[in-house]
Structure 1
Amino acid sequence: MNLPTIVSKLVAAQNQFDSETYTGCFAETAIVHDEGKIHQGKAEIRKWNEHSNEEYHATMKPLKYESSEQEDLLTAEADGNFPGSPAVLKFHLVLENELISSLKITG
């Protein structure tokens, strides 16, 4: 599967539980929507990712990648310490200047 470089970097960082590299994939003013909450800016995104790594210890296995003018969509299997694991999740991404400006995770 041919993923954009920044998406490959995001997946690798998640699978290594590397919050610093994960956060580096986002623009300064990026927004993440996950589990009904919004995390805005790199500091909040890093805190969210660190908490998620500690609580869920989830890894990602990309299954499908689609790109459109509005957003890119990564479908991935998430496996970790959470009810229903493993689960197929959708990662709705907006990429700008080779960084992620928006990420919304849905089931």
Structure 2
Amino acid sequence: MTLPKVVDDLVAAQNTFDSVAYANCFSETAVVSDEGKTHKGRKEIEHWIADANERYKAVMKPVSFEKNETESLLKAEVSGTFPGSPILMTFHFEIADELIQSLKTTV
């Protein structure tokens, strides 16, 4: 499976718990929706993922990737220190100019 570079970089950053590298995959005005909360902008995204990394120690194993006209969908097995681990999650990306503009996660 071939992933766009920015998605590959995001997975690598997640799996090494590198919140700065993770945030750098996003545009300055990006929006992330996860766990019923919205995080706007690269700095807020960096704080969110640093906190999530501390709490959950989640790692991702990509299972499938597809792209349509408006979004890219990554299905990944996510495991960590959270109830029900591992789970299959879908990451809904909007990517432009080789940066993530928005990310929404669903189970």
Give the TM-score range, shorter chain.
over 0.9
Partner residue, 1:46: 46
Identical columns (%): 54
Stretches of structure 1 that go unaligned for 5 or more consecutive residues are none
| 2-structure distance, mates of 1:106, 1:39 | 15
Partner residue, 2:78: 78
Structure 1's consecutive aligned runs of 4 or more residues displaced over 6 angstroms after TM superposition are none
Q: How many residues align?
A: 107
SS at match of 1:45: helix
| 1-structure distance, mates of 2:69, 2:95 | 10
Q: TM-score if structure 2 supplies the norm length?
A: 0.99
Partner residue, 1:10: 10
1:96 aligns with 2:96: yes
Amino acid of the residue matched to residue 23 of structure 2? Answer: T
Partner residue, 1:105: 105
Q: TM-score if structure 1 supplies the norm length?
A: 0.99
